[in-house]
Structure 1
Amino acid sequence: MTPPPTATAAPVSDAPTTDVTPGPAPAAAPAPPAAPARGGLLVLVGMLLVAVNLRAAVTSLGALLDEIRDGLGLSGTMAGLVTTLPTIAFAGLGALTPWLVRRWAAARVLVVAMLALTVGQVLRVVTDSAAVFVLTSALALAGIAVANILLPMLVKQHFPHRTGLVTGAYTMALTVGTTVAAASAVPVAHAFGSWRAGLGVWAGLAAVAVLPWVPLALRARAARRAPAPAVAAAGAARVRPARTRLGWAMAVYFGAQSLSGYAIMGWLAQLFRDAGYAPEAAGLLLAGVTALGVPVALMMPTLAGRLPTLRPLVLSLTAFSTAAYVGLALAPHGLAPLWVLLLALGQGAFPLILTTIGLRARTAEGTVALSAFAQSTGYVIAALGPLLVGVLYEATGGWTAPIGFLLVALAVQTAAGMVIARPRQIEDER
């Protein structure tokens, strides 16, 4: 894999080797703190800006899908493809990220990823072609897919002793970006009289996210001739998450929690409308799940980093989600705010698994390999969530069967969670 995107990154991965030799050990000891000291603040700002962009292009499209279908004449099949593109891109293109960072520094890869997100969002709002809209949306999503994988690795490289805090910060930024884009896309479109404005405004935010990574990419390019690439290549050869029990448990946990998350985002408002709520109230209840998830996203990684085992968190999240699902099945109207709160707490599984990716890898190379495998495989699983919930809802005309399916997925998630709860590293399961 690559060294961190700073000139001082290479000694971090070399430190365990040099410490064994008595002579150079004193000189090598100060190296690990150097990268955060010189580049940590800029890296942190860059990570937060990237995180804010990781879902805005997706949720703003969902909020304006009816207007986009009318404006471009999208068929039902084409609209279905557009809504499925995120999980396809996250699964397929995310898996290529380890290959990219073996060849180029992470900062340089992120510059290209954010540029792809910016250009893709601009091009898709200036076209009148449905096919071009889909292709340029795919370009934007490709940038998001790569950034999804890189952020846990950057946390490991630059903030190894503050994994929980930094993961919580960028997960919270991601959640805020998701919520703001979903809530403001329609008002912006109405204010400017076109869905193109409501969708295209987020390209400016993506362009801003490029800026911190440019100096980091230039610095990484200057440091690229250090011996770290050989170390990264060796690390890449050793870490094969697909051949380990831990790797598959991480992928299943990520996939199961994402499956429920996508199903909730896609169908919860409809459930509340069927229970008798007005469309506006149902939308607010759905937004409440995301809004209440902001503090959960900030706190969960810190808790995970401090506990000796993750079992209490895994079981607590399962209990919250179980209570919410049972409540939605039995009394969706009377206690709806309580079920929304419990769903938000249960969705803390997302920041938990992002934190665990860093906790279960010893090196940056292991982190990016585990991140790529868990997320790319997990998003394949997640893509089934909204689809199967919709099929069951249409077939039965009610919510008992869909909620039963989500409870089964939760049981699978919990079983995988118990596997990843025990402290160990992916490098040890070679």
Structure 2
Amino acid sequence: MTPPPTAAPALPAPAAVDPRPTRDPGTGRRTHPATGGALVLVGMLLVALNLRAVVTSLGALLDEVRDGLGLSGVTAGLVTTLPTIAFAGLGALTPWLVRRVAPARVLVVAMFALAVGQVLRVVTDSALIFVLTSALALSGIAVANILLPMLVKQHFPHRTGLVTGAYTMALTVGTTVAAASAVPIAHAFGSWRAGLGVWAAMAAVAVLPWVPLALRTRAAARRATPTAVVATPMRVRPARTRLGWAMAVYFGAQSLSGYAIMGWLAQLFRDAGYQPESAGLLLAGVTALGVPIALLMPTLAGRLGTLRPLVLGLTTASALAYLGLALAPHGAALLWVALLAIGQGAFPMILTAIGLRARTAEGTVALSAFAQSTGYVIAALGPLMVGILYEATGGWTAPIGFLLGALAVQTTAGMAIARPRYVEDE
């Protein structure tokens, strides 16, 4: 990514931002560093709505898709593992990409790929093409995952918590709506293809705000003179820092538990005696309760001097929920669901921390890419290990013990990132 034409010395802290208006490198417009454009914010929220819909809609209709395309168990397993593979692999390439192409133009292509991939996968009868087009759609999400924290840092440096909370809430809403409505839409139209394909329209809408921003970027580049002095952005390599690894481990451990909960919580409640419909509603309750938490958590993280109280509070909520699910899953299910929703607030918190632990937009995108790409590799182990332990033991004591162990790792990493420090300094 190309910084503003005038080079500036390293800043002592993120709050020490030059108050003078500058020309934004992503749009070419003059902006105040303390504010972001309304169009950028709208674009970010629309992108966030799309970041999980393609995944959760497929999860809700997986049986119908398997029957319709004749997917084998291995192929179905590959499809459900594709998100973490794509998020890890393609997310790692995003810093390289944004050093060469303006973020607005990258997001146009990413959301276009998401829309096209969703359309193509519902018009095919080939299992192979379904997998490949799903990967195309997920590639757009993988890139957007990394870019959003950077855009917050670039356009809203003094509103990191608020804006991160807003787009995380939009992400949670999109996740919940897609999971809850995919099956009814499929039934209404008589085909699973409608239940998956309808979300392509939402991705297409998300392209619209970024088109004028991308055009402004191109116009600004054309107006630039060949003799303009352009500072070379510092190359930040989080893999060489302790902070980078602590962020990656925390992101991975909390995602591991999140994917395990999404994949297996309903089965746990069914084993405890709940009807399938009730078990599904309890799972949906974790996501629904996560909407206000997603808005509140980044605001708290942005205002606190240290993240230690949040790390310990989220750990306590998750630990109590896991112990409750092991000892009395039926007797106090609503309480365990509420505590799980609070514990899953670790996701919006770590997204906020990515911006708080970097001084610059370049550092933010590098830290975001490393933490998320490495973290999603760790996260892929969650549903797999829970499934293996469940099949091997026939119960939930061992799987919950595994999740408690992952929570201990998460807490240790969280304490390492709690105090204010910056990846550029390491």
TM bin, normalised by shorter chain, reads over 0.9
The AA in structure 1 aligned to 2:63 is: D
Q: 1:132 to 1:114 in 2, by over 3 A?
A: same
TM-score (norm 2): 0.94
Q: Deviations over 1:203-235 (max 9, x none)?
A: 00000000000000011122236599953x531
> In structure 2, the residue corresponding to 1:14 is in which secondary structure?
coil
Q: Deviations over 1:51-96 (max 9, x none)?
A: 0000000000110000000111111111000000000000000000
- Alpha-carbon distance in 2 for matches of 1:41, 1:376: 29
Task: Give the root-mean-square deviation of aligned CA atoms.
Answer: 1.9
Q: Which residue of the other structure, out of 162, 185, 190, is the alignment partner of 1:188?
A: 185
> In structure 1, the residue corresponding to 2:37 is in which secondary structure?
helix
User: What aligned pairs does 1:203-242 form with structure 2 within 5 A after superposition?
Assistant: 203-224=200-221, 231=231, 233-236=232-235, 239-242=236-239
The AA in structure 1 aligned to 2:96 is: W
1:364 maps to 361
Q: Which residue of the other structure, out of 319, 324, 327, is the alignment partner of 1:322?
A: 319
Q: Which residue of the other structure, out of 79, 95, 107, is the alignment partner of 1:98?
A: 95
Indicate if the aligned counterparts of 1:2 and 1:229 stay in contact, CA closer than 8 A: no
Is 1:35 matched with 2:28? Answer: no
> In structure 1, the residue corresponding to 2:330 is in which secondary structure?
coil
Is 1:159 matched with 2:152? Answer: no
- Alpha-carbon distance in 1 for matches of 2:204, 2:383: 31
Q: 1:98 to 1:387 in 2, by over 3 A?
A: same
Is 1:405 matched with 2:402? Answer: yes
Is 1:14 matched with 2:7? Answer: yes
The number of residues matched between the two structures is 412
> In structure 1, the residue corresponding to 2:214 is in which secondary structure?
helix
Segments of 5+ residues of structure 2 without an aligned counterpart are 12-17, 25-29
**Cα offset for 1:35?**
2.4
TM-score (norm 1): 0.93
> In structure 2, the residue corresponding to 1:277 is in which secondary structure?
coil
- Alpha-carbon distance in 2 for matches of 1:28, 1:422: 26
**Cα offset for 1:14?**
3.4
- Alpha-carbon distance in 2 for matches of 1:428, 1:299: 29
More deviation, 80-89/27-36:
27-36
Q: Which residue of the other structure, out of 345, 348, 351, is the alignment partner of 2:348?
A: 351
- Alpha-carbon distance in 2 for matches of 1:223, 1:91: 33
**Cα offset for 1:272?**
0.2
2:249 maps to 252
Indicate if the aligned counterparts of 1:64 and 1:186 stay in contact, CA closer than 8 A: yes
Segments of 5+ residues of structure 1 without an aligned counterpart are 4-9, 19-26
Moved over 2 A (4+): 13-18, 27-39, 222-231
> In structure 2, the residue corresponding to 1:57 is in which secondary structure?
helix
Is 1:420 matched with 2:402? Answer: no
Is 1:110 matched with 2:96? Answer: no
User: What aligned pairs does 1:23-172 form with structure 2 within 5 A after superposition?
Assistant: 29-31=20-22, 34-35=30-31, 40-172=37-169
